[in-house]
């Protein structure tokens, strides 16, 4: 086994290596003055099982291109198999043609990875699970739920006065899974998206008055959906408001909105380096990814990793 890290999230790659009792391979990644990426693998990987850790978080295009270049370098160095470890898969929201003359970029990225030489993809909480079908290679799709539920149970041991809330109708299935795992009730916020950064929450379906609530979503960037949902939950009498998000790809706008919102704490994973800031608690997923890599390398099942 050889573990290679790109520059997108080296801290996570080092944690994964530590959990596996391995060390990261000696790889030199740099840029030429004109911005072109250069990669050199400084050790023998011929016939090795290579895992390249590189979430496609911002700067998204740069990190995807860097991953493709690392894959090409490994393939030309005669690696036995190349697995792209992408805890966060960018472009996952562009998974269909929802208006005329637009691309399906998630499929394009899948094609680029396969053409570059990736033999398997390990990812977590895709925005649209059916993106697994965009690949003609095996995809191991992990869930952040086991890691997040463990923390939420410690934070909220009494679920009798707890409601899990989906901030939109599309996330009901995910929220239902969290509610079942916590033994909590389920509620839904109906929303209307005005633009890419603005969301107008409409109404609440379910009981939230006088209760602690946990908003559940797969990802947030500008926190528009979460904060709009938190506002309407507060107006409907929710006592304390928390959020649990698989990927917190937060920018300045998202951090400012969270700081000013009714949300007390946002629980997320460290799948991306942007998961930090005031009110943000990041749960480490290196043990989960490390165990998945160990099982993939050993030809074992990863099914039990889905269980809480």
Which residues are identified as catalytic? 191
Reading the block at residue 4, the tokens are 């290679």
| CB-based contact 264:235 (threshold 8 Å) | no
**Pairing of the two strands 212-220 and 162-166:** parallel
Could you give the CA distance from residue 103 to residue 101 in angstroms, rounded to a whole number? 7
Could you give the CA distance from residue 109 to residue 170 in angstroms, rounded to a whole number? 24
**Count of positions (residues) in the chain:** 308
């Amino acid at each position: 086994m050889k573990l290679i890290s790109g520059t997108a999230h080296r801290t996570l790659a080092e944690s994964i290596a530590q959990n596996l009792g391995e060390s990261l391979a000696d790889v030199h990644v740099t840029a030429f003055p004109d911005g072109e990426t250069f990669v050199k693998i400084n050790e023998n990987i011929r016939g090795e099982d290579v895992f390249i850790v590189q979430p496609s978080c911002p700067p998204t295009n740069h990190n995807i291109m860097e991953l493709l270049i690392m894959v090409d370098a490994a393939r030309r160095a005669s690696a036995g198999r190349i697995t792209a470890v992408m805890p966060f898969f960018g472009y996952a929201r562009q998974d269909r043609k929802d208006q005329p003359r637009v691309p399906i970029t998630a499929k394009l990225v899948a094609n680029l990875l396969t053409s570059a030489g990736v033999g398997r993809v390990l990812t977590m909480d895709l925005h649209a699970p059916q993106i697994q079908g965009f690949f003609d290679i095996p995809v191991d799709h992990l869930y952040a739920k086991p890691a997040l539920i463990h923390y939420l149970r410690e934070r909220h041991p009494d679920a009798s006065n707890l409601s899990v809330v989906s901030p939109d109708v599309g996330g009901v299935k995910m929220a239902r899974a969290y509610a079942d795992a916590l033994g909590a009730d389920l509620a839904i916020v109906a929303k209307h998206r005005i633009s890419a950064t603005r969301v107008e929450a409409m109404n609440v379906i379910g009981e939230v008055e006088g209760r602690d609530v946990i908003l559940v979503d797969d990802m947030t960037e500008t926190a528009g959906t979460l904060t709009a949902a938190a506002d309407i939950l507060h107006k409907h009498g929710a006592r304390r408001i928390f959020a649990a998000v698989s990927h917190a790809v937060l920018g300045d706008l998202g951090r400012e909105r969270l700081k000013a919102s009714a949300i007390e704490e946002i629980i997320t994973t460290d799948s991306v380096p942007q998961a930090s800031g005031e009110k943000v608690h990041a749960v480490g997923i290196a043990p989960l990814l490390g165990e998945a890599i160990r099982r993939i390398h050993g030809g074992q099942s990863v099914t039990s990793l889905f269980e809480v």
